[in-house]
Chains A and B, each alone.
Chain A
Amino acid sequence: MQHGKYRFIVGFLALPLGLYALFVVWPFIQSIYYSFTDWTGLSPEFEMVGLDNYRRMLDDEIFWKSLQHSLMFALVLPLVTIGLALFFAFMINVGGRRRRGGPVISGVRGSSFYKIVYFFPQVLSIAIVALLFAFAYNPDSGAVNSFLRGIGLDGVQPLWLGDPDLALWCVMAVLVWSTVGFFVVLFSAGMASIPADLYEAALLDGAGRATTFFRITLPLLWDTVQSGWVYLGILALGAESFAVVQIMTTGPGGPDYSTTVMVLYVYQKAFRDGQAAYATTIGVALLVVTLAFAALVMRLGRRERLEY
């Protein structure tokens, strides 16, 4: 039955490859192509302008600011989110005190409740989360400043989103809040598959919580952490950061360009200023940054895989 084998294989591959080419590869090629034109996005006419858009981008102060903020997002967001998520997941699954007659390892009291609570923000759409926090950050009557007043800190009434030094951190905090739950659940699942005898052996040797975490849990969870890192980085460079910046910040992107990110700038150039070609140019830059980020994380994170 060898004859017709190629046809058989091609038959299976053609459709997915075709779809991939049409919906993934083709748009990429198109946008790279448009970045060499002066297309406005509002009329069918355009001309080739060579590298003009790229030259303009390198001189564009706002572009550099947005790049800087995007990189900051890609660096800080995974670091904080994964750090917190690992800590929470560890406490939920492993960090509990040993109870008489109970299993060797267990989470802190009420851990199943916490698991649900942490996951809860994941149920809300990011747009709603951003809106809720925009209200909370309202300096006049928002929850945060009201709380500060409530505990007697009348003198400490920051402008939050209205302050260029704080705005970016306010926005990041919202993203951390909304994504950490997902990673708690993800890491919990990973931790559940680590055999209990490894922990048992460590406990017999007198290992404390910290040692258990760094010597057992983290190394055995490394693959999950790494993919979580890439996923979070892409999320921080892409849609999620756009949504919060667009909905919450002054301007949006302000005050004084303190929160503008690359995706927001792409959006504004394409859909506000009618400069679709320049927007795709920034999009190409974003693509390069994202690929570089993924490659970097994969390379730095490469470790020997442990079988268990």
Chain B
Amino acid sequence: MGSTSASDSAENRGVKGVGRRDLIRRSAALGLISVPTVGFLSACASSGGGGEDKAKTGKKTDKNPLGVNDTAQLEFVLFDGGFGKEYAEDAVKIYEQNFPNVKVKFSATQKIQSTLQPRFNQGTPPDLIDNSGAEQMDMGVLVGKSQLADLTPLLDAPSYDDPAKKVRDTLRPGIVEMGQFDGDPVWIMYYAYTVYGVWYSQKALDSLDATYPETWDEMLAVCAKAKKKGMAGWTYAGKYPYYLPFSLYPMIGKVGGREVLDAIDNLEPNAWKHPAVKACFDAYHELYAKGYVLRGTPGLDHIQSQTAWAKGKALFIPNGSWVENESANVIPTDFGLAVSAPTGLDSSDKLPFGTIWASGGEPFVVPAKAENPAGGMEQLRIMLSEASSKNFTSKVKSLTAYNGGTDGITLTPGLKSGVAALDKAGQNVVNPRLQDWYVQLQKEKIGVSGLGEMMAGRLTPAEAIKKIQGYADETAKDTSIKHYKHQ
């Protein structure tokens, strides 16, 4: 017959080929199958162990109290931030001199997390890390997951300068405690030492015929004087209101005693409801209510607020000792930069005027899975010598954890006043821990949503306290967060 249907003819037109449509359909099916197949090959990014082959320890001698293997390589990763890398390079040179057979693999980066997180996940971290900067890895998690080595051997080793003195006895107050999270082990060695407080220009204060106010009534009087001259009393990093605690927390400690701050850190119920907290919140809110805060402050970031302050638009700013370096290009030479411990309420305060917040910065850690942990600690021991400490202070205008190390070098005005403030404080140095224990609570919740809103006039002190207490309770209940207590 010769008449076949169209479809037949297509099928019969020779070979069974793969039509365009078939091809698409089949490859789609293939794709669907391949998806779960790939899934079964569950080789996760986080898997993989290894790195267990530690370097053999060397012989412990007087010169080498930590028993460093004098042929094992040392890898040192530094945060390349405001302090630069020269101070560490100098310390590395000393290490290489002491162990001539070792070439230290030194690198400096701002991307601590991006560089090192994968290496922690693979179990091959370097031997010493300066875990600092915007990309700091969460210390609580590192400790909680046993990723860090206990630095107690370092602290108990003889110090670099004086074999009769242990390293731990050469450090400034609070440094060792800051490295602890729960119990005795010390996980972190803070190298820099930061003084927090109220920063001001001595020149501006002189021009008002005023001295730094010790009670809140005096503070208000100075602010009123400044306002008459067209100058605001205060400004702060409005976009990052977690700068306010730098002077507010030690004030709370001064008014109500250390226990109040400890209770807050320990997330105890109703810790924020303490009368001292309310009194200090009221005092700060008064600055806003009386118009003593520079207009527009809630919209300024730290640099903008520091610039306005350096230009003389505001008298006081709560800040840390890094401000001298950070704002160096806008602070006039005759500014007379000075820091003071925060103003208290009155003579009924529990602690004397001078009570100040000072604590460690630049956290150095030795990973638990490092190949040469003894080397990492030895490098730290070198850095904690008087010579290295002096080198750091003269190069980057900051104190170190080494107690002393300022004799015989010229200090900048801010640094000098910081040293004086520490002398005045004596043992009255407080060290609130919220900012390293509960970052989100401190910065976002207490800082931005509590204090920031209050100082912008959108919350009353009572409302702010209620809100913050709610956040603290939330954090205390959150099981996904590791909780810490003051020892």
User: Which A residues have a C-beta under 8 Å from some C-beta of B?
Assistant: 2, 5-6, 9, 13, 17, 21, 25-26, 29-30, 33-34, 38-46, 56, 134, 137-141, 145, 157, 159-164, 249-251, 253-257, 268, 271-275, 278
Most A CB contacts (10 A, CB to CB) among B38, B46, B458 go to B46
Q: Which of B72-80, B290-298, B355-363, B379-387 contacts A (4 or more CB under 8 A)?
A: B290-298
The reply to whether B38 and A42 contact each other, CB–CB distance below 8 Å, is no
Q: How far is the CA of A135 from the CA of B346 in the complex (A)?
A: 40
With contacts A42-B120, A44-B123, A140-B300 taken as known, whether A26 is within 8 angstroms of B38 at the C-beta atoms is yes
The reply to whether B300 and A46 contact each other, CB–CB distance below 8 Å, is no
Q: Cβ of A138: which chain B residues have Cβ within 8 Å of it?
A: 296, 299-300, 304
Q: How far is the CA of A2 from the CA of B443 in the complex (A)?
A: 68
Most B CB contacts (10 A, CB to CB) among A25, A164, A256, A268 go to A256
With both beta carbons as reference points, the residue of chain B lying nearest to A277 in the complex is identified as: B480
B13 interface residue (CB < 8 Å to A)? no
25 A-B contacts, Cβ less than 8 Å apart? Answer: A2-B17, A9-B23, A30-B45, A40-B141, A40-B144, A41-B121, A42-B121, A43-B121, A44-B47, A44-B123, A56-B480, A139-B295, A139-B296, A139-B297, A139-B299, A140-B296, A140-B299, A140-B308, A162-B299, A250-B448, A254-B444, A255-B453, A256-B452, A257-B449, A273-B440
Q: Cβ of B308: which chain A residues have Cβ within 8 Å of it?
A: 140-141
The reply to whether A2 and B15 contact each other, CB–CB distance below 8 Å, is yes
Contact of A272 among B35, B38, B138, B458 (CB under 8 A): B138
With contacts A44-B48, A44-B121, A46-B46 taken as known, whether A21 is within 8 angstroms of B38 at the C-beta atoms is yes
Q: Cβ of A268: which chain B residues have Cβ within 8 Å of it?
A: 440
The reply to whether A251 and B44 contact each other, CB–CB distance below 8 Å, is no
Q: Cβ of B61: which chain A residues have Cβ within 8 Å of it?
A: none
With both beta carbons as reference points, the residue of chain B lying nearest to A137 in the complex is identified as: B299
CB distance from A132 to the nearest CB of B (A): 14
Q: Cβ of B110: which chain A residues have Cβ within 8 Å of it?
A: none
Q: How far is the CA of A122 from the CA of B453 in the complex (A)?
A: 35
Extra inter-chain contacts (12) besides given A42-B138, A138-B304, A140-B297, CB under 8 Å: A5-B17, A21-B35, A29-B38, A42-B147, A56-B480, A138-B300, A140-B300, A141-B304, A159-B299, A253-B444, A255-B453, A256-B458
With contacts A43-B145, A162-B456 taken as known, whether A273 is within 8 angstroms of B138 at the C-beta atoms is yes
Q: Cβ of B447: which chain A residues have Cβ within 8 Å of it?
A: 251
Q: How far is the CA of A241 from the CA of B391 in the complex (A)?
A: 44
With both beta carbons as reference points, the residue of chain B lying nearest to A18 in the complex is identified as: B34
Question: Contact flags (1/0) for B199-232 with A, using CB distance below 8 Å?
Answer: 0000000000000000000000000000000000
The reply to whether A42 and B145 contact each other, CB–CB distance below 8 Å, is yes
With contacts A138-B299, A159-B299 taken as known, whether A43 is within 8 angstroms of B304 at the C-beta atoms is no
With contacts A157-B296, A255-B456, A268-B440 taken as known, whether A42 is within 8 angstroms of B239 at the C-beta atoms is no
B100 interface residue (CB < 8 Å to A)? no
The reply to whether A40 and B145 contact each other, CB–CB distance below 8 Å, is yes
B301 interface residue (CB < 8 Å to A)? yes
Q: How far is the CA of A250 from the CA of B304 in the complex (A)?
A: 13
Interface contacts (Cβ under 8 Å), in number, total 157
Q: Cβ of B44: which chain A residues have Cβ within 8 Å of it?
A: 30, 33-34
CB distance from B382 to the nearest CB of A (A): 28
Question: Contact flags (1/0) for B277-312 with A, using CB distance below 8 Å?
Answer: 000000000000000001111111100100010000
Q: How far is the CA of A141 from the CA of B122 in the complex (A)?
A: 49
The reply to whether A272 and B439 contact each other, CB–CB distance below 8 Å, is yes
With both beta carbons as reference points, the residue of chain A lying nearest to B121 in the complex is identified as: A44
Q: How far is the CA of A46 from the CA of B144 in the complex (A)?
A: 12
CB distance from B129 to the nearest CB of A (A): 12
The reply to whether B448 and A254 contact each other, CB–CB distance below 8 Å, is yes
The reply to whether A17 and B147 contact each other, CB–CB distance below 8 Å, is no
Q: How far is the CA of A46 from the CA of B44 in the complex (A)?
A: 11
With both beta carbons as reference points, the residue of chain B lying nearest to A260 in the complex is identified as: B444
With both beta carbons as reference points, the residue of chain B lying nearest to A257 in the complex is identified as: B449
With both beta carbons as reference points, the residue of chain B lying nearest to A249 in the complex is identified as: B239
The reply to whether A44 and B296 contact each other, CB–CB distance below 8 Å, is no
Most A CB contacts (10 A, CB to CB) among B147, B444, B449 go to B444
Q: How far is the CA of A2 from the CA of B147 in the complex (A)?
A: 60
Q: Cβ of B439: which chain A residues have Cβ within 8 Å of it?
A: 272-273
CB distance from A47 to the nearest CB of B (A): 12
Contact of B448 among A34, A160, A255, A272 (CB under 8 A): A255
The reply to whether B456 and A159 contact each other, CB–CB distance below 8 Å, is yes
B49 interface residue (CB < 8 Å to A)? yes
The reply to whether A271 and B113 contact each other, CB–CB distance below 8 Å, is yes
Q: How far is the CA of A43 from the CA of B122 in the complex (A)?
A: 8
